[in-house]
Amino acid sequence: MKLKKLLKEVKKKYLDLIKKESDTHYLSIGENCLTDNILDRHNLKSFSTPYSHGRSNLDYAIKLEKDNYQNLLSTEHLFYDYVGENKVVRNKHYSQSDDIYVEIHQNGFEFTHHDVMNNEPQRKSYERKILRMTSFDNSKKLKFVYHYRINKNKNLKLIINKAEEFLSYYQKKGIECEFIFFTQEIISQKEERKLIKVHDSKSVKGFILNTLEIWGGDDDDVFWAKKDDDLLKKMIKEIQ
């Protein structure tokens, strides 16, 4: 067991070194924790962003870029709410969006795991995340990865347009960047499982994963999309 733990630590340090020397940052832009988890377990995650551990949508992200994140932690906009029995903090300033997202992602930017109102260390954690998002220069390429959750009003054309708008805030600073989004289509036959590239421009790439189950629920292998890791690995090869 000790040898296994040692090998795991050595591997982690090696992978961290590779990421440090890489000329690209891979960053989660939401919509929830899944994107960050996928990047992390496939050794692509560069660091946590304001979107890594909360609920949001692309409209919120665009407005955050427009505001330079200055209102995200503003106490006048923060309030407590509940998701089921779980108490969360929301920001009402970032609550307007087109009706093309899952309903739970349209209730205001959600700090799912951080009490930025009354927990100082957790608030400081978000201050660091914001500082990283607002301090990029052109020394590294940025690849923003976004899980567009499947829903009845899904609109890929709008998402592509919004992705381009999001990138514009970095492009005008002379930063090389890409936006990668992925979503699901639910199929009934195992033979229909596959990865489909639905958009491939210079700056925006989009993928649909045909899967048997929606990523969610109580089964961790489904919730974290581990049952579809084979498709995710194919996508990752495409975006590296």
pLDDT profile of the chain (240 residues), mean per 10: 56 50 91 98 96 98 98 98 96 98 97 97 98 96 98 98 98 98 98 98 98 96 97 97
User: Which are the contacts of 183, defined by CB distance < 8 A and separation ≥ 6?
Assistant: 147, 148, 149, 150, 154, 156, 206, 207, 208, 209
User: Which two structure tokens, joined as six digits, stand for 11?
Assistant: 């591997």
The pLDDT, as a whole number, for residue 28 is 98
* DSSP element (H, E) containing 185: strand 177-186
What pLDDT was estimated at residue 136?
Answer: 96
Q: What residues contact 5, with CB distance under 8 A and at least 6 apart?
A: none
Please list, in sequence order, all residues whose beta carbon lies within 8 angstroms of the beta carbon of residue 10, skipping any fewer than 6 positions away: none
Task: Find all residues with CB under 8 Å of 21, minimum gap 6, and list them.
Answer: none
Cβ neighbours for 3, distance < 8 A, ≥ 6 positions apart: none
pLDDT at 14: 43
What is the enclosing helix (H) or strand (E) of 91?
strand 86-91
Round to whole Å and give the CA distance between 29 and 147.
8
Q: Please provide residue 64's backbone torsions phi and psi, each rounded to the nearest 5 degrees.
A: -60, -40
The one-letter amino acid at 127 = E
- Give me the half-sphere count of Cα atoms (radius 13 Å) on the Cβ side of residue 213: 15
Q: Which of 78, 74, 30 is nearest to 55 (CA)?
A: 30
Q: What is the structure's pLDDT at 11? A: 45
Contacts for 125 with CB less than 8 Å, ≥ 6 apart: 114
pLDDT value, residue 22 = 82
Give the pLDDT score at 216.
95
User: pLDDT at position 21, please?
Assistant: 57
